[in-house]
Homo-oligomer: A and B are copies of this chain.
Amino acid sequence: MKKLVLTGAAGRLGSYLREPLSQMCDRLVSTDWTEDIGKLYPSETYVKADLGDLEAMEAVLDGADMVVHFGAIGDEAAWDKILHSNIIGAYNVWEAAARKGLRRVVYASSIHAVGMYPKTQRIDTEVPHRPDTYYGLAKCFAEDLGSLYWDKKGIESVHLRILSAAQVNNPRALGSWLSYDDLIHLVQQAITTPITGFCVIYGVSNNDRVTVDNHKAAFLGYRPKDNAEQCAEEVLAAADPADPHDPGQMCQGGPFASVEIGFSGTASMNIVQDKKEI
């Protein structure tokens, strides 16, 4: 691979991907909207660019083979913000990729595209969308966008529905945790698999309590190694009793699926923060 582009390089997950991606290509171009991202890895360069600016994205993608698109608001936010960064931003990445003849987009989708399914219902990668937030709604949009560009323009895309990449400090994470090592493995498979077409895969470690099903995407060869179960006893002992009728506890999307905390964008809902990943 000659040139690879990483968007959202300054974000939480993007930061972890810079080093391994820099080793997979002749030239890694990292991009985000901050001024700089600190010390660069060999083969890496940094370009400040706004996802909302199509011409800027074209310039960044020029000559690249693939783009790993992790840049977006990484949490629930007001509609206008999601619209700008996550919907229009996704369009700009795919359209620029098509104009510049890239082969593939590897995209940080999310469990929140299907977050309203109960965790007791095993979901595979072809269940109908069921978003839990504006954030999840934008992930649905980008998946459909990838489908369109594959069918009409031949641009491949791999949509990584990441479950949760935080620490294992709550019962939901026993099933949803994605370790950084497994994340890196997942992105590598999405890049090196010779043919992917349009496909979707859940980004989750090899947890005992996993609630999603990747068997339709098995051809990608993603075999996670980490397992949150080592934290189960401690986490469960510390947890309050669960309410089996609270969407925030019973649904795949966790707190995003809660009725109270949601997508209303009100001032009191302080989970809205820009530029965090996933």
| Interfacial residues, chain A to chain B (CB-CB below 8 A) | 79, 83, 87-88, 91, 95, 103, 116, 118-122, 126, 128-134, 136-137, 140-141, 143-145, 147-148, 151-152, 154, 156, 171, 174-175, 192-197, 199, 207-211, 213, 215-223, 229, 232, 236, 239, 241-245, 247, 249-250, 257, 259, 262-263
Closest B residue to A263 by beta carbon equals: B152
Known A129-B144, A129-B147, A197-B244; further 19 A-B contacts with Cβ < 8 A: A83-B88, A83-B91, A103-B241, A120-B219, A126-B128, A129-B143, A132-B152, A133-B148, A134-B148, A137-B144, A192-B232, A192-B236, A194-B236, A194-B242, A195-B244, A208-B221, A208-B223, A209-B221, A213-B215
Closest B residue to A262 by beta carbon equals: B152
A218 contacts B211, C-beta separation under 8 Å: yes
Closest 9 CB pairs of A and B: A209-B221, A194-B242, A208-B221, A140-B144, A116-B151, A195-B244, A211-B219, A171-B194, A129-B144
Q: Provide the bound-state CA to CA distance between A12 and B263, in Å.
A: 34
Q: Provide the bound-state CA to CA distance between A130 and B151, in Å.
A: 8
When distances are taken between beta carbons in the complex, the residues of chain B under 8 Å from A242 are 194-195
Known: A154-B244, A262-B152. A195 touches B122 (CB 8 A): no
Copies per complex of this chain:
6
Give which listed residue, B128, B148, B259, contacts A263 with CB less than 8 A: B148
Closest B residue to A128 by beta carbon equals: B126
Closest B residue to A237 by beta carbon equals: B192
Closest B residue to A79 by beta carbon equals: B91
When distances are taken between beta carbons in the complex, the residues of chain B under 8 Å from A232 are 192, 221
Q: Provide the bound-state CA to CA distance between A247 and B89, in Å.
A: 29
When distances are taken between beta carbons in the complex, the residues of chain B under 8 Å from A121 are 216
Q: How far is the CB of A157 from chain B (nearest CB, A)?
A: 11
Closest B residue to A236 by beta carbon equals: B192
A219 contacts B119, C-beta separation under 8 Å: yes
A216 contacts B156, C-beta separation under 8 Å: no
Q: Provide the bound-state CA to CA distance between A211 and B137, in Å.
A: 29
Give which listed residue, B126, B130, B133, B141, contacts A140 with CB less than 8 A: B141
Give 26 A-B contacts (CB < 8 Å), ordered by A residue.
A87-B87, A116-B147, A116-B151, A116-B152, A119-B195, A120-B199, A129-B143, A130-B147, A132-B151, A133-B148, A133-B152, A134-B148, A137-B141, A148-B263, A151-B247, A154-B244, A175-B219, A194-B236, A194-B239, A194-B242, A194-B249, A196-B244, A197-B244, A208-B221, A211-B219, A221-B232
Q: Provide the bound-state CA to CA distance between A152 and B209, in Å.
A: 26
